Structure 1
Amino acid sequence: MNRRLRDVLEPALAALPDGPLAVAFSGGLDSSVLLHGLAALPAARARGLRAIHVDHGLYVDSDEWTQRCARIAADLSIDFASVRVDVPRGSGLGLEAAARRMRHTALQDELRAEEIVAFAHHRDDQAETVLLKLLRGAGPEGLAAMRPLRRFGQGLAWRPLLSLSRAALHSYAEHHQLNWVHDPSNADPVFDRNYLRLDVMPRLRRRWPEADASIAQSATWVRAAADFIEAEAARALAQIQGLDPHTLRYREWLALPDALRDPVLRRWLRELGLPEPTQHQVGELMRQLGEAGEDKLPCVRWPGSELRRYRDLVHARRPIEMVPATWDKSWDGRPLELPAALGQLQLVDAAGAALATPLHETLRVRFRRGGESLRLNVGSHHRDLRDLFQEAGIPPWERGRLPLILDSHGTLLAVADFWLGSEGRALFEALELGVRWCPHVDRAEPGS
């Protein structure tokens, strides 16, 4: 078994990109074997091999476990780092998923630039992951389970043991008399993965002895298919994305093959840094886009994201914070903080510096209430803001979020820094000042 582990680790290590190396070290059987195996390789030590332990603080013995992990690393002459996290109990994710998320976040924060962190996931873990994903209705990307190498924070996540069974790692640990930590939570069937490991997988193996290897092999085949679909999704997204990256031509998205529609949507949202939807929410988006008339404004929301259709485009953004209907402020020209995360309104000089002393004339700032109009040029007719917004392609949900600047008589002078009326132009040119809106969030631009 010692030779077998080396035969797995040496070529995998040689194929890695350059960069320092760390092990995600829980102190359990699997990570103890991985750390011990890598510590025996000069090539791993040459990369500055170190161990990173995340203490979840979920058990009274967690401090002692951290100390034991530190002693194990010291016995191997390996640098050791420990990170303490507090796992939220009421996140809605469940304790298992919340702990995993906190652990990954802590590891990513601890990693150095281009550092590669090795995880001790093995073939049994891979089989369990495939079954969990299958039971949760995952697509090809999920059923492909864990990649041997992927981006992870500012570094990489590396899983070199996916071809080895848990039994093989146990044999190695016993042969070398490793002293690992026994986590009692691993025996609690309330956690989904433990239920599969303790109850379901043993039954499958009794009927199909090669179940783990077969499921893991299927994951390898699905991974190849998922990679192909992802490459096709990237090409399709480039063809149907609008000039504004936050937009997508919805008819072309609906016309994509079934195998591409969902991956394209998810890739788009990932690139925008927005949370992804459930399958139910994807189905609802397809239904609304397919059935809503041209005069409708379909919208599908989920925590952290919302998709809205306007004309031929779907717009993706974070949920909009509504502007208070009664918000109306007098303004002396100095920087004014706007409500609903809409940033700051300023008057600036020719050098771009914000006005620091108050104007003699008091202005007012509010938001759209309906029926407003603006005279763009001296002698011309007033134009309804509704018409200006439509011509500029500003989506309806953005129109009520544009700050309006009025004089003391209620004459509309400017719409944010998009349009200056003739009266506003005369006033601000006389003052040698311009209007600047500095929003804190994405906003529509005329013509976008």
Structure 2
Amino acid sequence: MLPEAVSRALTAAGVGPGARLCCALSGGVDSLVLLHVLHDLAPRHGYVLQAAHVHHGLSPHADAWAQACASCCATLQIPFSLIRVEVPRDDAAGLEAAARRERLAALDAIRCDWLAFGHHQDDQAETLLFRLFRGSGVRGAAAMAPFEMPSAGRPGRVRPLLDCRRAGIEAWARARGLDWVEDESNADVRFSRNFLRHRALPALGEHFPAAVPTLARAAAHFREASDLLDELAALDEATCGGEPLQRCAVMSLSDARIANLLRWQARRHGWQMPVQARLDEALRQLRAVAQPLRVVLGEMALCAYRNLLWLESAVGGTYEPRDWCGSATLSWGAGEVRFELLPGRGIARSLLEKAGSVRLAGRRPGLRMQLASDRPRRQFKNLCQEAAIPAWLRDRLPVLWVDDVPAWVGGIGVAAEFACAPGDEGVVPEWRPAGVA
């Protein structure tokens, strides 16, 4: 039975008592059935249910759909939110992709723990075919996950109908006398997904009656393989020294494992991977070109210097000087500088409190610094060379100027005359460039 399938999916995801669950309600039969089932199951699972409808304004019937969703929620006494978004008509990704992107961004902003979507098994089969025809790898072929845990301030996502067929969902709705809206664009086979739904899958079904569940099962196998590749990437990262990676350790891996590791790191930082040909060229340069090396790969750059290897954001931020008045963080470029109070470490807090000005800014001409009392005062260039900081990164290094004297340089350290004595209160600055967790 359909409610039992939804109940099992919620339990597997961990949607339990007190959880704030929001149903993404389009007004179509899938999301409408899901809303009714979630409403019926709420007492059993103990979650707090709400619903939201995203108004794209792309259809002349959009206002009527929004009103239908609002009326349904009012009847069931479910709190309802209507969110209006503007979809760019000339988006490079296409109208269909742009609408989906704007919809998900709006839903992710809702104050809830979980978003529930009405995707079903037929949708899963369509998604797998769509991604295969685009040349997706193992992760893309995994299609939609039954659930995705909440992360980085974003609500989790659960798809309780993913094991249910479209025909069964419609039969459940008709048996209960439910009325739903039909999006006329869903019949337009000029859209790729609609072509797969109305032309490709029915044709496949004539020769392979179990095509939909078989494709959905294949997606589950791809997801298992994708999870194993993620585990391998985590192991390889640990073996290669974490972030940044040890270049010689990375070079002992095959190209396939290096590419897998870089994809995994890029995804963790929210960067989009380049096309395979570009990644292959970056790996070729990594093996053939002498250090230093920096290869831009779209949103990120692959960097190598001495025995270090890392990914960084290719998009620079604003490096504006700013005063430090005791805050825990200051933004710097696309990253930040964090300040932590630790006894006997970093910069002596007493010297900062006595200073007339404490300012975070970039380097200045002629910057020199002594890192220890038994070491000579060194030029900025020499300090960077000793700290293995590549030339392209040096102009981005944050410097903490105390009364116009450099007390700390990101990636290099604290000047000896500002060092905190053992037992005294100290302030430890730490530079976190964009993309470094």
Output the TM-score relative to the length of structure 1.
Answer: 0.76
CA distance in 1, matches of 2:105, 2:331: 33
CA distance in 1, matches of 2:406, 2:267: 36
CA distance in 2, matches of 1:386, 1:357: 26
- SS of structure 1 residue aligned to 2:48: coil
- SS of structure 2 residue aligned to 1:350: helix
- SS of structure 1 residue aligned to 2:51: strand
What are the within-5 Å matches in structure 2 for residues 51-66 of structure 1?
A: 51-66=51-66
Matched, 1:297 2:296: no
Which of the residues 131, 149, 152 maps onto 1:151? 149
CA distance in 2, matches of 1:377, 1:319: 34
CA distance in 2, matches of 1:130, 1:258: 26
CA distance in 2, matches of 1:152, 1:366: 37
Does the Cα contact within 8 Å between 1:13 and 1:44 map onto a contact in 2?
no
Distance of aligned partners of 1:168 and 1:48 in 2 relative to their CA distance in 1, 3 Å threshold: same
Which of the residues 303, 306, 309 maps onto 1:308? 303
CA distance in 2, matches of 1:164, 1:207: 21
Report the residue type matching 2:125 in the other structure.
A
Mean alpha-carbon deviation: is it higher for 95-104 or for 147-156? 147-156
Report the residue type matching 2:140 in the other structure.
G
Does the Cα contact within 8 Å between 1:368 and 1:402 map onto a contact in 2?
no
1:280 is matched with which residue?
Answer: 277
Report the residue type matching 2:165 in the other structure.
S
1:233 is matched with which residue?
Answer: 233
1:84 is matched with which residue?
Answer: 84
CA distance in 2, matches of 1:11, 1:378: 66
Unaligned 5+ segments in structure 2 are: 338-346, 419-426
CA distance in 1, matches of 2:24, 2:64: 18
CA distance in 1, matches of 2:225, 2:103: 29
Mean alpha-carbon deviation: is it higher for 177-186 or for 278-287? 278-287
For CA contacts below 8 A with separation 6 or more, give which structure has more relative contact order: 2
**What's the CA shift for 1:374?**
7.2
**What's the CA shift for 1:383?**
4.9
Report the residue type matching 1:398 in the other structure.
L
CA distance in 1, matches of 2:414, 2:235: 41
Q: Deviations over 1:134-162 (max 9, x none)?
A: 12222222111111111245432111212
Which of the residues 2, 6, 22 maps onto 1:9? 6
Distance of aligned partners of 1:251 and 1:139 in 2 relative to their CA distance in 1, 3 Å threshold: farther
CA distance in 2, matches of 1:16, 1:241: 33
Matched, 1:388 2:386: no
CA distance in 2, matches of 1:357, 1:168: 70
**What's the CA shift for 1:14?**
4.1
What are the within-5 Å matches in structure 2 for residues 100-115 of structure 1?
A: 100-112=100-112, 115=113
- SS of structure 1 residue aligned to 2:352: coil
Report the residue type matching 1:442 in the other structure.
P
CA distance in 2, matches of 1:95, 1:236: 39
1:130 is matched with which residue?
Answer: 128
Does the Cα contact within 8 Å between 1:413 and 1:420 map onto a contact in 2?
no
After superposition, the CA RMSD in angstroms is 4.3
Distance of aligned partners of 1:134 and 1:253 in 2 relative to their CA distance in 1, 3 Å threshold: farther
2:34 is matched with which residue?
Answer: 34
Report the residue type matching 2:295 in the other structure.
C
Report the residue type matching 1:177 in the other structure.
G
Distance of aligned partners of 1:403 and 1:119 in 2 relative to their CA distance in 1, 3 Å threshold: closer
**What's the CA shift for 1:249?**
2.5
Distance of aligned partners of 1:373 and 1:75 in 2 relative to their CA distance in 1, 3 Å threshold: closer
**What's the CA shift for 1:125?**
0.6
Does the Cα contact within 8 Å between 2:336 and 2:431 map onto a contact in 1?
yes
CA distance in 2, matches of 1:357, 1:413: 10
Report the residue type matching 2:297 in the other structure.
R
Does the Cα contact within 8 Å between 1:348 and 1:354 map onto a contact in 2?
no
- SS of structure 2 residue aligned to 1:306: strand
Which of the residues 263, 267, 280 maps onto 2:264? 267
**What's the CA shift for 1:124?**
0.8
Q: Deviations over 1:360-379 (max 9, x none)?
A: xxxxx98577x987788999
Matched, 1:250 2:241: no
1:318 is matched with which residue?
Answer: 313
**What's the CA shift for 1:356?**
5.2
Distance of aligned partners of 1:384 and 1:203 in 2 relative to their CA distance in 1, 3 Å threshold: same
- SS of structure 2 residue aligned to 1:190: coil
- SS of structure 2 residue aligned to 1:394: coil
Distance of aligned partners of 1:366 and 1:437 in 2 relative to their CA distance in 1, 3 Å threshold: farther
Does the Cα contact within 8 Å between 1:148 and 1:162 map onto a contact in 2?
yes
CA distance in 2, matches of 1:276, 1:381: 44
**What's the CA shift for 1:40?**
3.1
CA distance in 2, matches of 1:16, 1:308: 38
CA distance in 2, matches of 1:29, 1:6: 15
Larger radius of gyration: 1
- SS of structure 2 residue aligned to 1:317: strand
Does the Cα contact within 8 Å between 2:6 and 2:160 map onto a contact in 1?
yes
What are the within-5 Å matches in structure 2 for residues 332-371 of structure 1?
A: 350=350, 352-353=352-353
Output the TM-score relative to the length of structure 2.
Answer: 0.77
- SS of structure 2 residue aligned to 1:157: strand
Does the Cα contact within 8 Å between 1:343 and 1:437 map onto a contact in 2?
no
CA distance in 2, matches of 1:128, 1:82: 28
- SS of structure 2 residue aligned to 1:270: helix
Distance of aligned partners of 1:84 and 1:356 in 2 relative to their CA distance in 1, 3 Å threshold: farther
Instruction: Give the length in aligned residue pairs.
Output: 410
CA distance in 1, matches of 2:214, 2:371: 71
